Structure 1
């Protein structure tokens, strides 16, 4: 009996072990409804033999333009790619982007006298021409730096920032027969859309409600003026190109017309319009992590419930008198209890001129402080700071309003945190951004010349406008949904690199080709033929089907003429019989 009992124990143990190590056998009853075993879909990309060197080119080298590109490149670095920035100034390496190096093209562009002169003038179309002249001035020096960099690091792809201009990056890539990916925060080089216009034409972004005269001026006259002003700089650049053995161009976007173009924007911000496949919206591109605010700074924020935050682009010139008006408006808004505190980021450079710094500002209790004393944080409800983590401040629930110049980075961080904006647009993309944000119903703007009362009234209106707050919630959702698309941008750049390794680029143009199509080695008509629509190869007349529509109209007109002629003949016959 003892033997049988021990045998039973051993048998039970064997069965349990068998059940543990062999799937599909049930110890009690078989479960016929058990879920099938699943295998995870493979997500890895084979990067063996794929080119790894990426050059990021920027003519201006401003953080607002470069940071979104570096955010995308940071993802590419994590995937095993090597990234080098070529731009003026000394921006990298930094703690934010320790794995990306920089080759400097020279001193910061902000130190250039021509650049400073352009930025201190009221913005107009001629500033664009002025920047083109600045490009001509810098072209040969920058080109030489690019060539030296290319000898050290053999680039496989050029990621070019196209903020109005960057012909050097495009020309170098073209001459080396390397793929180009363009990047901008504006819809540059896209097909003409008649109901969209440009602020630097002195037109509105959305022409929907404009008069016939304004629509005619903005669609015909202003573009012709702009092209005529650009022709001289294009001609000068072509002369420089010829000395370097580079093929001339007829328009600034000719080099990139068959390349991928990434735009740091999102649906909802732009005027709705169709986009060609080569133009991909990938914004808003934002950082994933931001510095925490300091305990001292946090104490000021927690002691106030309705804070106005002011931060202007340091590269934007704002007159000291303008800043003084804003300062008066802040004091008045605090005295009227519209807001109970204000934070101003690093304004000292705008107040360093006499008699501005010694100007006395009187408060409701009849005490007064000079501007220089205010800058030293002598007022309990005003805090001037050099803490530059704007997002960290805007993300505080006590910060209720943001006064800025309307740069794209400012706008995205403000929308992401759901902070309404009062915008003082000064130049370039700030003007178009402000119009778009006002169109969304999430911001108000200040005119070129304004008073203290203007600012106070608009602060009050924004903080008490329920419709604006609802619009802000909707836009906040849009921004958060779209803020993940920088990973898609990295995916698209990877695709271009993969495609270039499989289809070597050949930039030769067939002289017998009426449309100047870039021919590729092998049977391909373009490196990114998957994104190039057929009309690009068909030419304007055939691509727009004008031959078909024209023939149809001729048939209709011919049939109508024949019908009318027949009626006329019948009427003449009847009249002849009556006679």
Structure 2
């Protein structure tokens, strides 16, 4: 029998997060932390200026830079632009694709940077954020096993007939169960409505990749040929059948979080019903949206439904508000100057450039979470058991908001069509909750989330399982190593053990359509004999 080191050999794992932020890196590094405790070496690759993503994770041995930094000006302009996205219009869809093209523009240097890293350090496994297409390109080129982390069920993959439209792009209904015919047809027409945008980005991507000497194109298969983790869980995500290479591993959260500081504790100490507001670390809301939220919350405070507001708003977003108003005659909400609220001159309001979100959500005084429904915020709100008022701004937040509302833990607000009165009424409904329906659903989902969060250990198991399977699936000889076949691994001796056979064979064979064609052909032949056989015999006589 082999020793423990032979059965469970330590490997080098390269974690990659490029254009994403901490919401993208944290789930990957949480799983890598478990792998590091098991003896694996963890390295990290990212863009310049994002080295701080690994600061909470001391086990990361090396940080590689694979591309330039995103400038502060680019960051602010991008997130000002996406705040006004409207997927319902062609102009809005064009803006979304323009944003995606900008993110894709980092692909050439990321591809070259990762290529150098892989050639020099030879990692045994690549663990990447879903946005880093270059990671999967390099993994395929050098025959390195790879896993990708998604914030929701991956686009286009694992479709089901009772989930209308394209997986991951629903905006009106999550399943057909309670959806109207109109909503189902609307979702099914997604590809037609977005076809011009997809064609445009396809040609731009092909041109960019060919300029870099890469002739292949990224292709979204119905079943992946690599390991896929989803930082979500069934209960939030609609349950569906998944292939063995896709796993709902969320909510992937740290077991510890930053405690509240004295400033936060003193603000919350004498309050019993506080609304916490946060729209992520990047989004910059226009003043028209902020003003209506402020007015709705101020009215809810006036009527006694809440007695305080904590708003996490980074400096760039605060400056955007202050630059949008006349400071001399600042707009008023419920008799209070907006500028006084933002500058913390009112004892019932606290604006924080950095809000310790999990510490706040855990505090007993926080009774409502007004959120953009980003993946991390949705998971944290559920884990800490706080009912939500959900106002999606862009991207997967739209689907997350639908899921939170469907789970009964949130009420939704449309950023394009809402009023201060709607904010007030929905705060009232959540706080009063006369039938205790919202609180019941919140407790139910919180208990599920607490159990589901243990699956990050299962995710670490699956990384090892996939890595060890991959390592011994190839013939290793000096000749094949020199030839470079499969990245020097040699001839493949067996397929991936987690990949189902239908992903490797033709559609005809996988669906038994070839057998049905033979049966139909045989039946047709017998029918022809039965119908025309006597005439053939008589003609012969």
TM-score over 0.5 for the pair: yes
Q: Is the 8 A contact 1:320 1:356 kept in 2?
A: no
Structural mapping, 1:419-568, within 5 Å: 419-447=386-414, 448-465=416-433, 466-504=436-474, 521=490, 524-526=493-495, 528=496, 530-549=497-516
Q: Taking structure 2 as the reference length, what is the TM-score of the superposition?
A: 0.83
The alpha carbon displacement at 1:375 in A equals 2.5
For 2:127 and 2:223, how far apart are their aligned partners in 1? 11
Equivalent residue for 1:103, pick from 64, 69, 73: 64
For 1:202 and 1:192, how far apart are their aligned partners in 2? 16
Q: Which ranges in structure 1 are unaligned for 5 or more consecutive residues?
A: 1-41, 507-517, 566-579
For 2:297 and 2:243, how far apart are their aligned partners in 1? 46
| Aligned position for 1:140 | 108
| Aligned position for 1:181 | 147
| Aligned position for 2:307 | 340
The alpha carbon displacement at 1:457 in A equals 0.1
The alpha carbon displacement at 1:362 in A equals 5.8
* Cα pair distance change 1:370/1:225, threshold 3 Å: closer
For 1:305 and 1:488, how far apart are their aligned partners in 2? 39
For 2:272 and 2:373, how far apart are their aligned partners in 1? 24
Equivalent residue for 2:41, pick from 82, 88, 111: 82
Deviations 1:214-265 (A, max 9, x none): 434533x32245455334433443344445443412x533699311111111
Count of paired positions:
503
The alpha carbon displacement at 1:350 in A equals 4.4
For 1:200 and 1:123, how far apart are their aligned partners in 2? 14
- Point out the more displaced range, 483-492 or 338-347: 338-347
The alpha carbon displacement at 1:85 in A equals 2.4
The alpha carbon displacement at 1:464 in A equals 2.1
Larger radius of gyration: 1
* Cα pair distance change 1:303/1:495, threshold 3 Å: same
Equivalent residue for 1:322, pick from 273, 283, 289: 289
SS in structure 2 of the partner of residue 538 of structure 1: coil
* Cα pair distance change 1:292/1:51, threshold 3 Å: closer
* Cα pair distance change 1:331/1:116, threshold 3 Å: closer
SS in structure 1 of the partner of residue 271 of structure 2: coil
For 2:310 and 2:125, how far apart are their aligned partners in 1? 43
Q: Which ranges in structure 2 are unaligned for 5 or more consecutive residues?
A: 88-92, 477-486, 532-541
SS in structure 1 of the partner of residue 322 of structure 2: coil
- Point out the more displaced range, 192-201 or 368-377: 192-201
For 2:112 and 2:143, how far apart are their aligned partners in 1? 18
* Cα pair distance change 1:522/1:271, threshold 3 Å: same
The alpha carbon displacement at 1:213 in A equals 5.0
For 1:544 and 1:51, how far apart are their aligned partners in 2? 40
SS in structure 1 of the partner of residue 105 of structure 2: helix
Task: Find out whether 1:410 has 2:377 as its counterpart.
Answer: yes
* Cα pair distance change 1:260/1:334, threshold 3 Å: same
Deviations 1:98-139 (A, max 9, x none): 232433322137743784475143242445533442255322
Q: Is the 8 A contact 1:321 1:356 kept in 2?
A: no
Aligned CA RMSD, in angstroms, stands at 3.3
Structural mapping, 1:195-234, within 5 Å: 195-196=162-163, 197=165, 200=169, 202-219=171-188, 221-226=189-194, 229-234=197-202
The alpha carbon displacement at 1:46 in A equals 3.3
The alpha carbon displacement at 1:386 in A equals 3.3
Deviations 1:66-115 (A, max 9, x none): 11111111212222222222222423355411232433322137743784
Q: Is the 8 A contact 1:109 1:115 kept in 2?
A: no
For 1:45 and 1:375, how far apart are their aligned partners in 2? 58
Deviations 1:484-509 (A, max 9, x none): 11111111111222223222499xxx
Structural mapping, 1:182-331, within 5 Å: 182-188=148-154, 189-196=156-163, 197=165, 200=169, 202-219=171-188, 221-226=189-194, 229-249=197-217, 251-253=218-220, 257-331=224-298
